[in-house]
Every structure is written in structure tokens, then in C-alpha cells.
Amino acid sequence: MKSSVYQALGLVATLGLTLVGAPEAIAAGDPLVVYTARKYQLVDQLFQEYGRERGIEVKFVTDDGAPLIARLTAEGANSPADLLITVDAGDLWRATQAGLLQPVKSPMLEAAIPAHLRDPQGHWFGLAVRARTIAYSTARVKPADLSTYAALGDARWKGRLCLRSGKHAYNQSLVAMMIGDLGEQETERVVRSWIANLAAEPFSSDTLMLKAVAAGQCDVAITNSYYLGRLQAEDPSFPVQIFWADQGGRGTHVNISGGGVTTHAKNRAEAIRFLEWLASPGIQQRFAAVNYEFPANAGVEPLPTVVAWGKFQPNLVNVGTIGRTQPAAVKLMDRAGWR
């Protein structure tokens, strides 16, 4: 038994050393290095396409936003990263606060991306828009009964509301936005009224929650629209529909997936050029379409599935404010018992 164990160990060690020692292939131009929280299946094709167009290598690693920020912080000036892409404005705000992103002046980006979806100083730019709004059962709810986020706390929704976990950034950013609009006290009252109306313990994912609406465990929920887009694409008769919240008021809450150039970028010019390329009309359509999101570039139409939900008025407050109020939102949700 023993000798073969050691043989195996030796083999593994040799294999390991070969892999460690293998020198990296060196491309013609300087490579562009991206740290991205937008995942492989949503970015790989476009990244490779850009690389081919420019004759450079686009290297990237994926992870959640917070670990990528921690990685950038630890690497400091030695970091190879040129660009940080996240799926939450709060993370971009956080990275800016930590001094990890640098301001960029680009007339093209400023023209293409609406002001509320980018940092006024140019530290980051929204590339795709995700709307968090109300989803309802087409079998048991009349859209006329729906109006605002806050109204989901009304007595008529007792035992009929489903929510995702309060630990998720999308809910935290919704509450952060509400604090900006309604103030902390009123927001806490609303959140408490939601918790009192819950039909089930909060869910770990929007998809599971929407399936619970379809199955009859609850009648209304708060979701990012693209999760429903995926379910509707799989099953066009999925009995859940989108309602745009707060249309009479400040508008539906939106968050962004966006990016910014890192402070210690080695390939700054290429990183800016890449952001501009991602914000250009033809690419914008595809960048958003792979995930049923809305293009950040207002001149670009989303997918037909998404268009079918109708036009909506987004809340125009700058998405960067989400980051500033998010810690207050999380504490508020702790107090209100949003698990």
C-alpha cells in the first residue's frame, strides 16, 4: 500500500510543479486585466470579442464584489487589475471610497450613460440596469390592487407577501433607496409592515421565491425583473407578471452592473476604451440581453421579453447614494427582523 501512495504523491507533485512553472503566454499588446463580479457566462464572449478586435488578450477573474475589493486592497500598487466590474452600485461606491478606482473623463461615456447611472466624478459607469419591482400572481392578483412598495405592507397583503433574504444586496439597496426617499423612520415602519405580511420565511433566491408565487404559497413578491425574464423564457405561460412600482411617485428602484478603472491600472487607456466599447449601442444591446436586463445606454432597446413588461419610470436618484445609505439600511433591516 505504502509505496504506491508515495508514487502517487510524487506524480502529483511533479504535475503540480509543471503547472506552476509553466510560463504564461505573452500576447502582442499589453493584456487588459478585468476583475469582474459579473459572471463568466455573461461576459466571456464579449470580452474575447473585444480582445480579437484589438489584438490583445483580455484576462479576467470572477468573484463576488466584496472579495474582489478585498483582493484589490491587498494587492495595492502591485495589482495587475485594470478594470473592476460589479453587479451592485454599492460595491462600486465602496471601491471608490477605498481609493481603488480612479476618475475618468470620457465625453463618449458621459453622453451614452444617463447621469443617475454613473459617478459624477467618473470613478464608475453603469453598463446594465436591473430594476427591482413587484411581481404578482396573474391567477390571484389584479394589477389594479398594486401601487407602491410601501403599500405591500397594507393589511390586504397579510400572509400573501414573499421576500428574498434581507442579507442580499438587492434588497439592501432597495431599502437604502427608500431611506433616501422616505427617511429612516418611515422606511423602518414600511419594512416592519412587510415582515408582518410574510407568507413564508424569506427565500434564498429570487428564482425560488418566484416559483413559490407561481405555486400559490404567496401572491406578491419583490424581485429583480430579469429573474422573471428567465423563467418566462423557459415557460411562456409562467403565471407571474411584473408590476412597475411607485410609478405615481419617485419611480421604480434600479441598480446597475457597472465598471470603473482601477487606481493602479497598468493599461489605463485600454481600460477606458473597453468601457466605451461596452457602452456603445451594438454591444450594449447584447451586454444586457444575455441576462434580460435593461441597457444603460438609453438609446438602446432591450429584448422583446423585457419590452413586453412595458415602459417604466425609474427612480432618478443617483445609484451611488445606495452605497452611502446601505449600512444604515442593513442595520434597519436587522432591527425590523428581515432575516
Contact footprint for other proteins (CB under 8 A): 1-2, 5, 9, 12-13, 15-16, 19-20, 24, 33, 37, 39-42, 59-67, 70-71, 73-80, 90, 94, 165, 167, 169, 172, 200-208, 211-212, 214-217, 227, 230, 291, 323, 326-327, 330-331, 334-335, 339
Q: What is the CB neighbour count within 10 angstroms for residue 325? A: 22
Distance separating the N- and C-terminal Cα atoms of the chain: 51
Give residue 121's identity as a one-letter amino acid code: Q
Question: At its nearest, how many Å lie between other proteins and the CB of residue 37?
Answer: 8
CA distance 23 to 253: 47
Cβ-contact 86, 258 below 8 angstroms:
yes
Shortest approach of other proteins to residue 81 CB, angstroms?
10
- Nearest distance in Å: CB 325, other proteins: 11
CB of 326 to other proteins, least distance (A): 7
Q: How far is the CB of 109 from other proteins (least distance, A)?
A: 25
Contacts of 9 (CB under 8 A, 6+ apart): none
Residues 161, 198: contact at Cβ < 8 Å?
yes
Q: How far is the CB of 266 from other proteins (least distance, A)?
A: 8
Q: Where are the beta strands (DSSP E) in the chain?
A: 32-36, 58-62, 83-86, 125-137, 161-162, 220-224, 240-243, 253-261, 294-295
φ/ψ bin of 283: left (φ > 0), alpha (ψ from -120 to 50), beta (otherwise): alpha
Query: Helix or strand or coil: residue 325?
Result: helix
CB atoms within 10 A of CB 201: 10
Pick the closer one to other proteins by CB: 76 or 143: 76
In the bound state with other proteins, the residue whose beta carbon lies nearer, of 188 and 246, is 188
Q: Which three cell numbers stand for residue 22?
A: 509553466
In the complex, the smallest distance separating the C-beta of residue 2 from other proteins, rounded to whole angstroms, is: 6
- Cα separation, 66 vs 86, whole angstroms: 9
